[in-house]
C-alpha cells in the first residue's frame, strides 16, 4: 500500500494547522500562514498552496486575506478525519493495481482478477476504515488505535 506525498503532506499540514490554531485560541479571526506551516513541516510552499486550495474547495479549511489572515480549520479537529483529508487532495487509497472504476473487473488481460485481488481490496478497505476512525484531535493527542499501542 502506498500513500503518496499529497496525502501525507496534507495530513502533516492539517495537523500543524490544528496545533497552531489551538495555541492561538479563539482570539479573533487570525489564521495561520501557509509559509509558517511550510517552514515547520519542511514542505514546499507552492506545493502546500496547491494542497490547501483542494482542502478549501472540499470545505476542510477556511482562508482569509490581509493582516491576521491565513488558514483556519473549517471544522473542529474532532470532526475532521484523516480519511477526509486524504480524499480531499485526491489521494487514492487503493492497494490493488486496478485503476479507478475497474474494481468490478480485474486488472489482468481480458478483465480477469488476479489471484490476490480480494486480499488487496480488503486491505484497502481496512486502511480507509482506520483512517476514517482517526481524527486530527486523535493525532494531536496521540490517541491512536489501542491495537497499535499493544503491538509496540
Query: Could you tell me the pLDDT band of residue 143, with boundaries at 50, 70 and 90?
Result: confident
Give tens-digit pLDDT for 130-139.
999 999 999 9
* Residue 73 φ/ψ, nearest 5 degrees: -65, 140
Residue keyed to cell 489564521: 31
pLDDT at 86 over 60: yes
Residue of 128, 96, 100, 133 lying closest to 114 (CA atoms): 96
Residue 114 has what DSSP assignment?
A: P
Whole-prediction pTM: 0.82
pLDDT at 12 over 50: yes
What's the whole-number mean pLDDT along residues 35-54? 96
What percent of the chain clears pLDDT 70, i.e. is strictly above it? 80
**CATH number of the domain that residue 77 is part of:** 1.10.10.10
- Alpha-carbon span 124 to 87, nearest angstrom: 13
What's the whole-number mean pLDDT along residues 121-132? 88
| DSSP code string of 13-54 | HHHHHHHHHHHHTTSTT--B-HHHHHHHHT--HHHHHHHHHH
Instruction: Provide the domain limits for residue 108.
Output: 5-151
Total domains in the chain come to 1
Residue of 24, 48, 22 lying closest to 35 (CA atoms): 48
Amino acid at each position: 500500500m502506498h500513500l503518496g506525498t499529497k496525502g501525507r503532506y496534507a495530513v502533516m499540514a492539517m495537523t500543524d494547522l490544528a496545533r497552531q490554531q489551538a495555541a492561538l485560541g479563539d482570539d479573533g479571526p487570525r489564521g495561520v500562514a501557509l509559509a509558517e506551516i511550510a517552514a515547520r513541516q519542511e514542505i514546499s510552499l507552492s506545493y502546500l498552496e496547491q494542497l490547501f486550495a483542494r482542502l478549501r474547495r472540499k470545505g476542510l479549511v477556511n482562508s482569509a486575506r490581509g493582516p491576521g489572515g491565513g488558514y483556519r480549520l473549517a471544522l473542529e479537529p474532532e470532526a475532521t478525519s484523516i480519511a477526509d483529508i486524504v480524499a480531499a487532495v485526491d489521494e487514492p487509497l487503493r492497494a490493488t493495481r486496478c485503476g479507478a472504476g475497474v474494481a468490478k473487473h480485474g486488472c489482468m488481460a481480458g478483465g480477469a482478477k488476479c489471484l490476490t485481488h480480494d486480499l488487496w481490496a480488503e486491505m484497502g478497505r481496512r486502511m480507509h476504515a482506520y483512517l476514517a476512525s482517526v481524527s486530527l484531535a486523535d493525532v494531536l493527542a496521540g490517541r491512536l488505535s489501542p491495537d497499535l499501542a499493544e503491538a509496540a
